[in-house]
Structure 1
Amino acid sequence: MIKSQINFNLFGQKAVFETGNELVKTRYLYKLLSTLQSFSKILIMDHQTEVEIEVPRFFVCPISLEIMKDPVTLSTGITYDRDSIENWLFTRKNNICPVTKQDVFDIDLTPNHTLRRLIQSWCMLNASSGIERFPTPRPPIPKPEIIKLLKALKSPHDQQMKSLKRLKTIVFESEKNKRLMEAVGAADHLSNMIINNVNSNMTGADELALSILYNIKLSPTGLKYLFGKNKDFVETLTRILQRTSSYESRTYAVMLLKSMFEVAEPIQVTSLNKNLFMELVQILNDQISVKATKATLKLLISVCPWGRNRIKAVDAGVVQVLIDSLLECTEKSVCEMIMMVLVQVCQCADGRSEVVKHGGGLAVVSKAIFGVSPVAGERAVRILYSVAMHSGSTRVLQEMVELGVVEKLVLVLQVDCGRKMKDKARDMLKMHAKFWNKTTCVKYNL
């Protein structure tokens, strides 16, 4: 196999492309094209012998190791392909330059037009060898355009809807656009629009604004800011859940709430309005979407470690709905989250009482010990532990015998599972050994 290669002064050419004036750039461009043309002729002449094409090193993105389609220069002076560096900075949320390891404070990416034209010309010269020319990339959305669209949200309805539709398109185009939207204050404009209209029925414009606000995927700082909007943006979203009949809007509202509470300060979580829990329970009961169900469960998991919230969740009927959901649940991750919420609410007396009162409560929970996953099984034992140790009346203990719960606890001691799970099973068996030894259940020695 014939192998040809061009040696370029990588750092010298890079300096010309990024800092030289246009005349110098043009001279270098012609010089390089001339060299590349000679190289192309060599490849074409020996094409029948399967020559391997050597790509100039500075055409290759340091991240993807592929020819750059849209070369852009980071503030550290290194050029990358736009898709690769945007994925590195915005999707993977890295804040360092992959090559220099320097911190990146300025996320603006400068298009390297000279290098892009050079790559396109090289592709054209090597077209006969199967190299396709990359199309000229579309320029990114400028900040002034986004600011103009956001200001138009105060316009009459038709213009408002037009602006919102354009903003939605921009948000879904790239992660860079999401960060740009947040940087120019989109969250402030959109949340103000929602707050101003929350006391009336949700309109199409309001629903669209809510979907855009969620899909911006605000940073932790942006999410914390929403807590301070109009004293309590949580109350605003709660009223949306109460007033709207749109499944999509309810889904976006609860997913936004979930994101907010993931970064909330303890003082913002310790005592929430009971109406919020009633709406969360209603979402679980309505099963409006898998996304909404998962977001609601994650939200409950994040707020129920606090005692007041647990009681409010129980009063809203969360235990009944969760156990009913377990009867039909087939997705492992959802079952595990349901079990976690039950673990938390069973730390209060009212929660344990609701589990015991439910006709299938103990049965459904005990079934999860070996029937779902090791995670769900460990959580099922924790629920049963709370019930047996704090609410273990004669009736409850007898029901645990009849449902085979005691046999499963004995089996937990015999199989390979976590130490904490075994310890809780052993403690339950020891605690009520006198009662259970009088029954016809499996005999065991601790």
Structure 2
Amino acid sequence: MVFSWIRKKAADDQEKLKKGDELVIPNQFVCPISLDLMKDPVSLSSGITYDRDSIESWLDGGNFTCPVTNQVLRSFDQIPNHSLRKMIQDWGVANRSYGVDRIPTPKVPVSGIQVSELLFILEDSVESLNGRRCLELVQKVKKWGGESERNRLCVVANGAITVFSAAFDAFARDDSFETNANLLEEMLSNMNWMFPLSQLHSLDHHHTEAAQARLGSRDSLRCLVWLLKCGDLSAKKDSMIALKELVSSDQKHAEALAAIEEASEVLFRLVKDPVCPAITRSSLMVIFHLVSSPSSSTSMAIRSELVKMGLVSLLLELTVDSERSTSEAALGVFDMLCDCEEGKEEAYRNALTFPVLVKKILRVSELATQFSVSAIWKLGRHEKEREKVNIFLAEALQVGIFQKLVLLLQLGCGSVTKEKATELLKTMNPCRPELECVDSVDFKNLKRSF
């Protein structure tokens, strides 16, 4: 009854709060921190009410006092003020004509205890391989994560990635992936927003390594490759995110993936027959990690295999007209393939090699320039095939590489790129007068990088 009287009084005062066409928000509806209309009012142990987002930001910043009273809080519990929230909603409905948006009833955030209890039950269900029960629990976590960023942070902070990766590994051990496909896809979808593992500061190093080990196991990798091959678009995206996270965190995961049957072929197909730009770009990045270890016999074998599939020509065609990140990834892989003899031979045979590499210098980004110069430098050091190298250098001069490299040194670049560019200039200088040709449009609107 008291609350009804308060609501009636607030309604009676509405006309007093309107000044011309402006609507003044009642003071009791305003958050003391943000000074905005509260959408989810909560009360602290000090008795003062704040908007939940504002007070959480205050407490997350390491503050232990009530912002209004400055007294030390006995408890950090935030009690929803349902009566005030209902008054604010009623006031908003009554003033819709003044542009006040409808304020939905907020969902109560999930607590750490709720998350811990669910994860405990999930671990127990995984031990008994109860797929149906696991799916229910995983979908509940997905629902929590979809409600708010706060819920996601709470789920991550309570070690969900460790439990989920262990569950994924357990159900990936069965060769009949189709039986558990729905559960595996749901777990990957959840883990998608728990990455990257390297930034999970709320977890200790042991938990992060455990999650990587489970997700990087042979069974898990085989399942991820299967989902890339047979899954729908969503499953392909989530699988690629997981693979990219693994191979970028530790080279040993890249080598483990390279040893999985069909892995390189599946990745090649995703580049050759694009499903979507994001998957193409991610596939190139995963391939880059697979071939980026110069001392690994597995990486060398993968390079040869990819070259035989036709990846060198595919990369050049892809680089001709692609957006920045895809172009960088394609050039990075091309540079790595130039470390093997088969890759160099394919590059020499392709008429696009020199025009594309030279064109991308100073055109895309500093990283693309670095990869392009590195690839040209590698192709110019094939001592066993001096005749091919001379033809290559002559073609490079004809498309304006000498001026590009001189300009690159003037504008500034990294020390390694600088050394390679200087060496190339010295090698090509004797042949320059008869062969070079300059396309001046390449040098317009260039700025120093420092």
Q: Could you say whether these structures have the same fold, taking a TM-score greater than 0.5 normalized by the shorter chain as the test?
A: yes
Q: Which moved more, 1:288-297 or 1:355-364?
A: 355-364
Measured in 2, the distance between the counterparts of 1:75 and 1:212 equals 35
One-letter amino acid matched to 1:327: E
Contact 1:274 1:316 survives alignment (8 Å) = no
Superposed displacement of residue 247, structure 1: 3.6
Equivalent position of 1:325 in the other structure: 315
Change in 2 beyond 3 A, CA 1:123/1:31: same
Which residue matches 2:108?
Answer: 139
Structure 1 residues 163 and 386: CA distance shift in structure 2, 3 A: same
2:429 is matched with 433
Residue 8 of structure 1 is matched in structure 2 by: none
1:9-408 to 2 correspondences below 5 Å: 36=10, 39-43=13-17, 49-56=20-27, 59-60=30-31, 62=33, 66-72=36-42, 81-82=51-52, 96=61, 110-113=79-82, 115-117=84-86, 119-120=88-89, 122-123=91-92, 131=100, 134-141=103-110, 143=114, 146-147=118-119, 150=122, 152=125, 154=128, 156-199=130-173, 200-202=175-177, 203-204=180-181, 205-217=183-195, 219-220=197-198, 221=200, 225=207, 227-228=209-210, 233-234=215-216, 235-244=218-227, 245-248=229-232, 249-264=235-250, 268=252, 272=256, 274-275=258-259, 279-280=263-264, 282-287=266-271, 288-301=275-288, 306-309=293-296, 310-317=299-306, 320-321=310-311, 323-329=313-319, 330-346=322-338, 348-350=339-341, 353=344, 356-357=347-348, 359=350, 360-369=352-361, 372=364, 375-389=367-381, 393-402=386-395, 404=397, 407-408=400-401
Q: Deviations over 1:58-77 (max 9, x none)?
A: 623745x5312113469999
- Aligned amino acid, residue 257 of structure 1: L
Q: How far did 1:334 drift?
A: 0.3
- Asked if structure 2 preserves the Cα contact closer than 8 Å seen for 1:238 and 1:279, the reply is no
Show CA shifts across 1:209-253 (max 9, x none): 233333443653469746436955323332124444324444423
| Alignment partner, residue 72 of structure 2 | none
Q: How many angstroms apart in 2 are the aligned matches of 1:321 and 1:289?
A: 18
CA RMSD of aligned residues (A): 4.7
Residue 431 of structure 1: how far off its partner (Å)? 2.1
Distance 1:61 1:397 in 2: 74
For 2:395 and 2:369, how far apart are their aligned partners in 1? 20
CA 1:77–1:286 in structure 2 vs 1: closer, same or farther (change >3 Å)?
farther
In the comparison of the two structures, how many residue pairs are matched?
401
1:257 counterpart SS class: helix
Mapped to 2, the partners of 1:194 and 1:409 lie a distance apart of: 53
Q: CA deviation at 1:396?
A: 1.9
1:37-88 per-position Cα deviation (integer Å, ceiling 9, x unaligned): 67534235xx5x335515528623745x5312113469999966446778x7
- Structure 1 residue 118, shift from structure 2 partner: 5.0
The CA deviation at 1:327 is 0.2
Cα-to-partner distance string for 1:74-106 (whole Å, 9 max, x where unaligned): 9999966446778x79xxxx952699899xxx9
Cα distance in 2, alignment partners of residues 425 and 341 from structure 1: 20
Q: 1:327 to 1:81 in 2, by over 3 A?
A: farther
How far is the alpha carbon of 1:324 from its aligned partner? Answer: 0.7
Instruction: Please list the CA deviations of residues 260-294 of structure 1 after superposition, one character each: whole Å capped at 9, or x if unmatched.
Output: 34444x7x569545325962563143334433332
Tell me if structure 2 keeps the 8 A contact 1:210–1:253.
yes
Paired residue type of 1:70: D
Conserved 8 A contact 1:61-1:68 = no
SS in 2 for 1:256: helix
TM-score, with length taken from structure 2 = 0.68
* Contact 1:280 1:296 (8 Å CA) reproduced: no
Is the CA contact (8 Å cut-off) linking 1:323 and 1:364 kept in structure 2?
Answer: no
**SS state at 2:17 partner:** helix
Distance 1:191 1:414, change over 3 A: closer
Deviation at 1:428, TM superposition (A): 0.7
Cα separation, partners in 2 of 1:232 and 1:191, compared to 1, 3 Å: closer
CA distance in 1, matches of 2:148, 2:349: 48
Which amino acid is 2:387 matched to? T
Task: Report the secondary structure of 2:358's partner residue.
Answer: helix
Unaligned runs of 5+ in 2: 68-74, 439-450
Measured in 2, the distance between the counterparts of 1:417 and 1:30 equals: 76
Aligned partner of 2:446 in structure 1 is none
1:384 to partner: Cα distance: 0.9
Contact 1:251 / 1:292 at 8 angstroms: preserved in 2?
Answer: yes
- Give 1:422 shift: 6.8
Query: Counterpart of 1:134 in 2: which secondary structure?
Result: coil
Partner of 2:444 in structure 1?
none
Question: Per the alignment, do residues 277 and 135 of structure 1 end up closer, same or farther by CA in structure 2, a change over 3 Å counting?
Answer: same
Give the superposition deviation at 1:335: 0.5
Whole-Å separation in 2 of the counterparts to 1:54 and 1:176: 27
- Identical-pair percentage: 20
CA–CA distance in 1 between the matches of 2:312 and 2:237? 18
The secondary structure found in structure 2 opposite 1:364 is: helix
Which sections of structure 1, spanning at least 5 residues, go unmatched?
Answer: 1-25
Q: Residues 284, 161 of structure 1: CA spacing in aligned structure 2 closer, same or farther, 3 A cutoff?
A: same
Partner of 1:4: none
